[in-house]
Each structure stands twice: as C-alpha cells, then as structure tokens.
Amino acid sequence: MSKGAHVGRFIALTGVTALALTACSGGGGSSSDGDGDSGGDVTLEFSQWWEPELPDGAFRELMDKFEAENPGITVDLLSGPYASTKEQVVAGAAAGTMSDVVGLDGAWVSDFADQGAITDLSAVMSEAGYDESQLASQVQVDGKTYMIPVVNFVYPMFTNDDLLGQAGVTAPPTNRTEFADAAAKITTGDAHGWILPLSLEAPNGIQNDVMSWVWASGGSMLKDGQPALTDNEDVTSATDYIQGLWDAGVVAPGSFTMKEQDKVEEFSNGRVGMMIDSLAHVNLIRESNPDLNFSISAIPAEDDYTGERGIPYASWGIGIAENSEHKAEAFKLVEFLMSEETNSELSSIANAFPGNTTSVPDFVEEDELFATAFEIYQSGFPANEFTGLPVAEQLMRDFGEEFQKALDGQQSMQDALAAAQTKWEEEF
C-alpha cells in the first residue's frame, strides 16, 4: 500500500483526542458586514494548544499568510498548554464566551454540541459551497458536523535510550514481560521505569496511558457499543498488569495528581525511562533537552499476542463557536487550514498525519523518528474508543477514581472495574 493510501486509512478512522484550549474571552473583533473585506475591522480569536507544540513562530507564520490572503481579517492567537487552560474551555462553553475559532477535543464534541456552544459546520460548509470530499474525516453529532480533524497523531511508546542502556536493556521492550523487566532495571535512585499520569482534573491518562494497553493487544473496553469493563479479559489483564507495575514500585511518584505535561517534563528531564505519549510532543522534548537520546516504538502487547496492535491516536480538531459574530470569516480560516498546501505544511511541521485527503507530509522522508512512527502505524490500526462517546471525559474520570482506589489498596481491581462499570452504565 502506498504512503498516501495509508495516510487516508489512518484519518478515515480518526475522530480525536488530543486536548483542547479555548479561552474565556468572547468571540473577538469589532463589527463587520461579514464579507471579510471590511478594511481590517474583523479580528478572529483562535484558541488552541497547537502553537506551543510547534517550532517557534511556525504557526504564526501560517496565520500571517492567511491574513495576507484575506485582507480585512486579523487572527489573534490565544495559545497555551492544555492543563493551564482546560477550565477555561468548559467555562467558555457554558457561558457562551468561546473564541471565534477553537481547537477541539473530539471527546468533548458531543457535550459542546448539546450545550449549543459550537456551531453546526455542516450548515456553514453548505452555505460556503465547500467541497467536503477533501476532508479525510469529520466528527458529527446527530448527523451534523461540529469538528474537523486538522491533523492526527499516534501515541507510541517513548524510551530514554541512555537510561535503558545503563540498565542493561539493549532494545525497547516489545511485550509486557520485557516492559516490566526493563522498568524494574531502570528504577534506581531518582529514575523510574514508567510514568503514569492519573489526574482526575485532566483524566485523559485513562485513555492514553491505561486503555492503550488494552488496545495494543487488540482488545476492547466496549461490547456492541456499550461498557464492558467486567467479565472482560482484555480489560482485566491490562489493569492487573498495571497494578503489578505499581506494586513493584517502577511507576514514577505523583501519579494521582500528574497531568500530561508533567509526564512530558519528567521524561524530557531524563528522570523516566519509558512513557506513552503523542508525537506532537517530539518538538517540545527536543527543544527542552537537545541532548536526550530517545526513540519510539509500539506499545508492548501481551506476550502471546501476534495480531495487529491498536495504536492510540489524537487529533487537533477545529470548530467555530456558536457565539461568534464572524462565522463566515471564521470558516475562511478553517478552509485555509484544511487546504491541500497549508495542511501539508502544518502536518509536516507538526509531524502528524494530514486531515486533507490530498495532503502529503514530508516528515516520513526527512526524520528517522517519524519514519519509525509511520511504520508503527502501518503495522497496526488506530484505536481510541472514547472518541464519540457521551460525556467521554467524565467516563475517564469515573474510571480514574475507581482505578486510583485499586492502585492505592483501598479496593480490589475487580471491585474497581465493577464500580466503574456501574458509573459508565448510568452515563450511557
């Protein structure tokens, strides 16, 4: 299969999960006649977490190009990491004060659509006469599109090769036994084998760092679209395995309050041997510690598993706030980002898979690390069962509460799964 065909296969299955940033300030700009040519009097606020994860100035350069092509429209980037802005996203959605254009998390789309916080993009695209066939995927609620995945990332395992080498581990582990053995050997002094963020405030660790072990061995947390946490060997096996790692003391301390950016910081500082993380953070890691010798590989599967491995994925999704007074101009920015040329450039600098069906990133040929990521993708399948579920973040939080109690010895893992199953069934 060609590179382009594989990229198409990846995106066709995507929906999202990276994390969103939306600021509490209202849709910006002064009044306009809506045609985008009003003499510079339209300012679009664009809230996202993307700019900090890209090379310095790269995203601003794209916005400058958009402004040059669209006289009368200015883009005000509101950028920041997920953790420090997460509360603003929810507050902005509830109060109707979202920025005009928003970076979206697919796990939130259903909730935001129900709140009426984000606009129906199907109607906007229809009014603009937009050709939807160029979009590799769309995230819909009740048949209406509310989010478009702009670029997509896989979540492989990152390894600090120097720490592994010092521990006598010659290659990244490929199965659970090898992973547990490597984690134990790495854990000495201030170093730990694995890092596991389980913050309930930002519970995406359940998705990326816990359920990824289920998906890596071809398993599922659902049955016929419904919760299946109990009497499910896939989930039981993975959670018992993580409990074993926890009990062995190979997990970095502070898990219960740790968020995704904390994980990346600990790995970048050389204190952790292995983590599961997004390719979006490769630039951050390289900038934070240019001397760090690290590589990526597939998430280890069960020892006897020989099938295709599920690969967690996330997307940078985009939407338009319902409260925006400049929806036509806002969609011009969406259209610009999804164009073949811009999407190719953005996916290349982000080291991600493009959201435009005809775009091709250049990173596969230019960067060995990302060539490896593409090979990992080619040999597996993208997996994220939280995408599209109702109150997906709350499902993660519900699971996380019970999972923490099990790890902490307050209840058995079996009881934790049963309690989480009950909570999930109520949400469904």
pLDDT at 84: 63
- Of 39 and 101, the structure prediction assigns the larger pLDDT to 101
- What single string gives the DSSP state of each residue in 138-158? -EEETTEEEEEEEEEEE--EE
Q: At what angle do helices 392-407 and 413-427 cross, to 10 degrees?
A: 160
The answer on pLDDT for 183 being more than 50 is yes
CATH code: domain 157-297+390-427 is 3.40.190.10
The answer on pLDDT for 274 being more than 90 is yes
The answer on pLDDT for 207 being more than 80 is yes
Average pLDDT over residues 230-247: 98
The answer on pLDDT for 1 being more than 80 is no
Extents of the domains making up the chain: 3-153+313-383, 157-297+390-427
**Chain centre to alpha carbon of residue 404:** 22
Average pLDDT over residues 140-157: 91
- % of the chain residues with pLDDT over 90: 66
**Chain centre to alpha carbon of residue 222:** 20
Average pLDDT, the chain: 88
The answer on pLDDT for 201 being more than 60 is yes
Whether the CB-CB separation of 151 and 355 falls below 8 Å is answered with yes
The answer on pLDDT for 273 being more than 70 is yes
- What are the counts of helices (DSSP H) followed by strands (DSSP E) for the chain? 18, 14
pLDDT at 40: 52
The answer on pLDDT for 4 being more than 50 is no
pLDDT at 390: 80
* pLDDT band for position 425 (cuts 50, 70, 90): very high
In the CATH hierarchy, which fold is given to the domain comprising 3-153+313-383?
D-Maltodextrin-Binding Protein; domain 2 (3.40.190)
Whether the CB-CB separation of 42 and 73 falls below 8 Å is answered with yes
pLDDT by residue (tens digit) across 381-422? Answer: 878 898 778 888 899 999 999 999 999 999 999 999 999 999
Tokens representing 56?
């310095």
Instruction: Categorise residue 102: left if φ over 0, alpha if ψ from -120 to 50, beta otherwise.
Output: beta
Residue identified by tokens 């134990």 is 184
Residues 101, 318: Cα–Cα separation, whole Å: 7
Is there a common fold for 3-153+313-383 and 157-297+390-427? yes
User: Considering only 37-41, 167-171, 207-211, which range has the smallest mean pLDDT?
Assistant: 37-41
The answer on pLDDT for 27 being more than 70 is no
- Of 88 and 295, the structure prediction assigns the larger pLDDT to 295
Handedness of CA 328, 329, 330, 333 (dihedral sign): positive
* Torsions phi, psi for 376 (to 5 deg): -60, -45
Residues 353, 12: Cα–Cα separation, whole Å: 11
- Of 280 and 122, the structure prediction assigns the larger pLDDT to 122
Whether the CB-CB separation of 83 and 52 falls below 8 Å is answered with no
pTM, two decimal places: 0.75
User: Considering only 9-18, 51-60, 183-192, 351-360, which range has the smallest mean pLDDT?
Assistant: 9-18
Q: In a 3-state reduction of DSSP, which class is residue 197?
A: coil
Average pLDDT over residues 218-237: 96
Question: 315-332: string of b/e by CB count within 10 Å (b at 16+)?
Answer: bbbbbbbbbbbbbbbbbb
Average pLDDT over residues 26-31: 41
- Of 52 and 334, the structure prediction assigns the larger pLDDT to 334
